[in-house]
Amino acid sequence: MKLIQGRFSMKPRSLFTAAMVLLGAAPVWAQTPMEGGGHAAHSGAAAAPTRAESPANAPSATMDHGSMNMQGGPAPADARDPHAYSNGLTLESGPYVLPGPRQLRLSDEHAFGSVLLDRLERVYTKDGNATAYDAQAWFGSTYDRLVLKAEGDVAKGKLEEARTEVLWGHAIASYWDTQLGVRQDSGTGPDRTWLAFGIQGLAPYWFDVDATAYVGSSGRTALRLSGEYELLLTQRLILQPRMEVNLYGQRDEARGLGSGLADAAAGLRLRYEFSRQFAPYVGVEWAGKFGQTADFARAEGQRTRETRYVAGVRLWF
């Protein structure tokens, strides 16, 4: 026992040196073929790739996207079919159809409605006071809807001027609708009926624009342009500039209207939104009549230029 211990005893320093030599030679032994054509002792290790098999020289399997338009346009020929996983099943046919009326519907298949009383205000001028209203309501889907517009003034219990429109609106873009229908003018003078065609929507930089052309009997034509902008001073305090212009193709003396630019109004309204549905406001508005329309107003003793102070409420249902 002492002889065996003596023959195999090694100093710690020599043992450390031998271990380092074995570790250094291990990679060489692992890559050396074993007898009988075997490979490395680790059966799961793969042989190092040759130059011909290196990834740098391997043929590319990636798709060429150079000719694709990634920002829009038609889809490439190898694009994924969005209906490929439905196996031809639809909500109207197939083994999963439920009896009775269709149960699943997308949002653009539903009918919605809204009423906006944009201006319900008391108007104060040097010649007297009046009550003015400007409302719009609609009912329908995302793409097609019935639109009702009403605007007018009431003074001393009498309807001075009123415009009522019934329109069919159709979406032509994300923020724009075309509108087609009829307009009825009432109040002072004879009533007038017009065929109306226009466009309404949200222009760049958040300008709300409404432009409508009208064709009436006896060759009468008219154009109405209005625009407004909402400037958020805070999340509840909003300053709203607004402008409206009316033009007519020929004179209508019975209603006190001349050809060309008839009247225009521009104003500022400052409102406080207790909620989106209820917002009182105060404001000031400048209004004027021009051309032959101004001549008719002077003949009846009316002002052609005036400053209006307003106070009212904006309601949304």
Q: Tell me, what's the pLDDT at 262?
A: 96
Number of domains in the chain: 1
Higher pLDDT, 89 or 36: 89
In a domain, residue 109? The reply is: no
Identify residue 130 by its one-letter amino acid code.
A
Q: Which of 57-61, 159-163, 192-196 has the lowest average pLDDT?
A: 57-61
CA atoms within 13 A on the CB side of 163: 16
Q: Say yes or no to pLDDT of 210 above 70.
A: yes
In a domain, residue 175? The reply is: yes
- Domain that includes residue 207, residue range: 120-316
Report how far residue 311's alpha carbon sits from residue 16's, in angstroms, rounded to the nearest whole number.
Answer: 97
Q: Judging by DSSP bridges, how do beta strands 305-316 and 176-187 pair with one another?
A: unpaired
Q: Tell me, what's the pLDDT at 68?
A: 54
Q: Judging by DSSP bridges, how do beta strands 158-173 and 237-248 pair with one another?
A: unpaired
Report how far residue 233's alpha carbon sits from residue 239's, in angstroms, rounded to the nearest whole number.
Answer: 7
Q: Can you say whether the dihedral through the CA atoms of 157, 161, 166, 168 is positive or negative?
A: negative
Structure tokens at 111: 């009918």
Q: Tell me, what's the pLDDT at 76?
A: 74
In a domain, residue 299? The reply is: yes
What percentage of the chain carries pLDDT values higher than 90? 60
Identify residue 71 by its one-letter amino acid code.
Q
pTM confidence score: 0.68
In a domain, residue 92? The reply is: no
The DSSP secondary structure of the chain, one letter per residue, reads: -HHHHHHH---HHHHHHHHHHHHHHHHHHHHSPPTTS---SSTTPPPPP-STTSTTTSPP-S---TT--TTSSSPPTTPPPTTTTSTT--SSSSTTPPSSS-----GGGS-EEEEEEEEEEEEEETTEEEEEEEEEEEEE-SSEEEEEEEEEEEETTEEEEEEEEEEEEEEEETTEEEEEEEEEEEESSS-EEEEEEEEEEEETTTEEEEEEEEEEGGG-EEEEEEEEE-EESSSSEEEEEEEEEEEESS-BGGGTB-SEEEEEEEEEEEEE-SBTTEEEEEEEEEEEE-HHHHHHHHHTT--SEEEEEEEEEEEE-
How confident is the model over 175-189, as pLDDT tens digits?
A: 999 999 999 999 988
| Confidence tier at 6 by pLDDT (50, 70, 90) | very low
In a domain, residue 57? The reply is: no
In a domain, residue 199? The reply is: yes
Cβ burial 10-49 (10 Å sphere, 16+ → b, else e)? eeeeeeeeeeeeeeeeeeeeeeeeeeeeeebeeeeeeeee
How confident is the model over 35-56, as pLDDT tens digits?
A: 444 443 343 344 444 444 444 4
Q: Say yes or no to pLDDT of 34 above 50.
A: no
Check: CB of residue 237 under 8 Å from CB of residue 272.
yes
In a domain, residue 162? The reply is: yes
Q: Can you say whether the dihedral through the CA atoms of 119, 124, 127, 130 is positive or negative?
A: positive
Domain at 204, CATH number: 2.40.160.40
In a domain, residue 60? The reply is: no
How confident is the model over 55-64, as pLDDT tens digits?
A: 444 444 455 5
